[in-house]
Chains A and B, each alone.
Chain A
Amino acid sequence: MSEEKQVKVHVDKVNKSYGDNHVLRDISLDVMDNEVVVMIGPSGSGKSTFLRMLNQLEKPDSGLIEVDGYDISDPKTNINKVRENIGMVFQNFNLFNNYSVIDNITLAPVQLGKMTKAEAEKKAKELLETVGLPDKASAPVSSLSGGQKQRIAIARALAMDPDIMLFDEPTSALDPEVVGDVLDVMKHLAKMGMTMIIVTHEMGFAKQVADRVVFFESGKIQESGTPEQIFTAPKNERLQTFLSKVMQA
């Protein structure tokens, strides 16, 4: 990494508990501009909770989280402003059921005064092109397949021109044959230099796209490194166990 690259996400000693369940323990992590970080680990290891903290869908009990230079663990920070620069893609797509495809994409930029309706629609059509669904603009959400929904959800997040994208298991709810379509869009984004933080079980994708792979287990980052380090020479015993299980499948 070159020196002038700036830190986009800075997390220091974050803790989070739900009752007795200590889901995140002293997590620290920095993500640089243009970096693609893939977080892997067994279910319940805390990786999704961690991801959701980066745009304050969850609040930490303690610790510091800075995104784009804003301290979002400080209650005085206007979280809405910060969120405008963080796109998020959910496992269950969460497209707005009451709007057509194009209205899903234009809602936020228009409501937040970033673009006029006409500008937003022009941009939406470009984004639909990017995700490979140019003919779906006026389709109702209910008419789409899962893979199509997830690609629209990515387009919706991109409409705000974010400089960070968060992906929370974006392919887990998809039929296997359409997973590739969604991953292709994500690869394209990575190639364009988007800073991305991705929670996924797609190990092949992680190998191909990640600059860094982070292994979560029991609320801790047990190991992190390049895909080569993680997948070919894992040091942590739990990581080795985890990989042997997922690679068998």
Chain B
Amino acid sequence: MVMKRLKPLLTALVAMLFAAVAVGTSASADSKPNYIISTDATYAPFDFQDKNNNYVGIDMDILKEVAKRNNFTYTLKPMSFNAAAQMVANGQADGIIAGMMINDARKQVYDVSTPYYQSGVAWITKPNSKIKSLSDLKGKTVALKTGTAAAAYGASLKDKYGFKIKYFNDTDTMYNDVVNGNTAATFEDYPVIQYAIKNGMKLEVRNPKNLGNAGGVGFFVKKGENAQLLQQFNTTLAAMKKDGTYDKIINKYLNSKQSTFVGSASDNNTTWGILKSNKNAFFKGLLETAKLTIAGIILASLWGLLLGIMGISESKFWRGLSTTIIYAFRGLPLMVLAFFIYIGLPGVIGVKIPAFTAGLLTLILNEGAYTGAFVRGGFESVDVGQMEAARSLGLTHRQAIWKVIVPQGLKITVPSFVNQFIITLKDTSILSAIGILELTQTGTLIVARNSQGFRVWAIVAVIYLIVITLLTWLSNWLKKKIA
């Protein structure tokens, strides 16, 4: 009975995977060329989401103009900066525009446009601070954001000027640490801090005329590829500078009021206002989280079931394979697996994998390994006499497994399944790293725009709690039905 029910599901699993890959690879029927452009959408003023959840910024406006004047279309892939850059390096995306500094190391991997903006690292203190030069930082503490070029620059000056370093994970907290006087100064890319100061951050740049590591910001394509796209970018950029379009774009972002992009104060300074003005974004994010969770739970459970059954097979080969798969995928951090599938794998197999498919595959492999482990444990905990009795009647190993062991073993594992469902739901948040616009990534983008970390994450947390509560109720109902 169980087997009859499982077979179509397994078939569906395979079909769905193929369909997902096929959707991702199907060519556009449009005659215009379509480019995949990756970006980091939390990098105002270059790239961020406005109050209507559209991607805007200097980069976005330039890109839109280049596409229009050269008659091509593009698909935007917003994600974390590192992932965005990697996508281009291994051919998953055609180009990256993300306020990315031009340097020699990057020129080894990418072909670069002419710079469209001059940037560099600024060092920043409170306005009217007694600290006038870097030498004044001796013995003081400096705030840096983990992993950025500005942080690397700041850290390189540490010994020379004798300051201490405190690391932060997000820009907003780092700025406020300086504003509150806990740390004396911070280092940040000039246009980024300019935009923040413009939008009311009470800080002052100390070296606007003398930026560290000064250089240009460019548009990058994979080395040796997309020469035409790069050429079009350069030509149009020159034309835009000549006809004033370029200045208009820069002014729009660097000389505008905060409310233009971020929305009114009432939309941002109350939890209710944030919820109301972003309800569509939250809803879409929730929907994506729900899709990932439901598909992930179903497919990972089936995969785990298969691993569990392989794990109690008569054949050493299948048992060994099951153990190896469980060991490998349980040992891999979810995020590493996601990066490997989304960013690493396509370079090898030559097929682009859509983010959702990659995310779903990640969930199936990781959650499926955990499921496989407890399912196998459940099967093994069925008294050995049950198998002996079945075999002594003449049933084959397979019949005994499906008719006697599996039904009893699964019953034991029901609580573990419920637990795993909830873990799967929470793990979908990690997939924000590959740019899937689910609930967590939605929160990240909103915070990047309005700097209201506490309120936005509180909203996101409550939404997760509500969904988990619903899932728990559903699971408990299922549990009762089975038991």
Contact = CB atoms under 8 A, between A and B. Distances in A.
B404 A96 contact: yes
Contacts, number: 63
Interface string A80-110: 1101101110101011111000000001100
B408 A97 contact: yes
Contacts of B403: 96, 107, 111
Contacts of B26: none
B409 to A, nearest CB: 10
B385 A57 contact: no
A24 interface: no
B266 interface: no
Nearest to A91: B385
A131 interface: no
Interface residues of B, number: 18
A160 B391 CA distance: 13
Given A97-B408, A98-B408, A107-B403, A80 B386 contact: no
B408 A83 contact: no
Contacts of A160: 393-394
Nearest to A57: B388
Contact of A108 (B385, B388, B394): B394
Given A111-B399, A111-B403, A92 B385 contact: yes
B393 A156 contact: yes
Contact of A94 (B385, B395, B399, B411): B385
Contacts of B136: none
Interface in A40-56: 55
A90 B411 contact: no
A112 interface: yes
B208 interface: no
Contact of B391 (A83, A153, A156): A83
B392 interface: yes
Contacts of A90: 385, 388-389
Contacts of A57: 388, 391-392
B213 to A, nearest CB: 69
A153 B392 CA distance: 12
Contacts of B407: 98
Of the listed residues A80, A86, A160, the one surrounded by the most CB atoms of chain B closer than 10 A to its CB is A80
Contacts of A196: none
B393 A108 contact: yes
B404 A108 contact: no
A157 B389 CA distance: 9
Interface in B187-219: none
A86 B392 contact: yes
A111 B386 contact: no
Interface string B378-413: 000001011011111111100100011001100100
B389 A96 contact: yes
Contacts of B385: 90, 92, 94
A130 B403 CA distance: 26
Given A94-B386, A96-B386, A111-B403, A55 B395 contact: no
Interface in A107-165: 107-108, 111-112, 153, 156-157, 160
Given A80-B396, A111-B399, A111-B403, A94 B389 contact: yes
Contacts of A88: 389, 392-393
A80 B392 contact: no
24 contacts: A55-B392, A57-B392, A80-B391, A80-B394, A80-B396, A81-B394, A83-B392, A83-B394, A84-B393, A87-B392, A87-B393, A88-B393, A90-B389, A94-B383, A94-B385, A94-B389, A96-B403, A96-B404, A97-B386, A98-B404, A107-B393, A108-B393, A112-B394, A160-B394
Interface of A: 55, 57, 80-81, 83-84, 86-88, 90, 92, 94-98, 107-108, 111-112, 153, 156-157, 160
Interface of B: 383, 385-386, 388-396, 399, 403-404, 407-408, 411
Given A83-B391, A111-B395, 15 more contacts: A55-B392, A80-B394, A88-B392, A88-B393, A90-B385, A95-B389, A96-B390, A96-B404, A98-B407, A98-B408, A112-B394, A153-B389, A156-B389, A156-B393, A157-B392
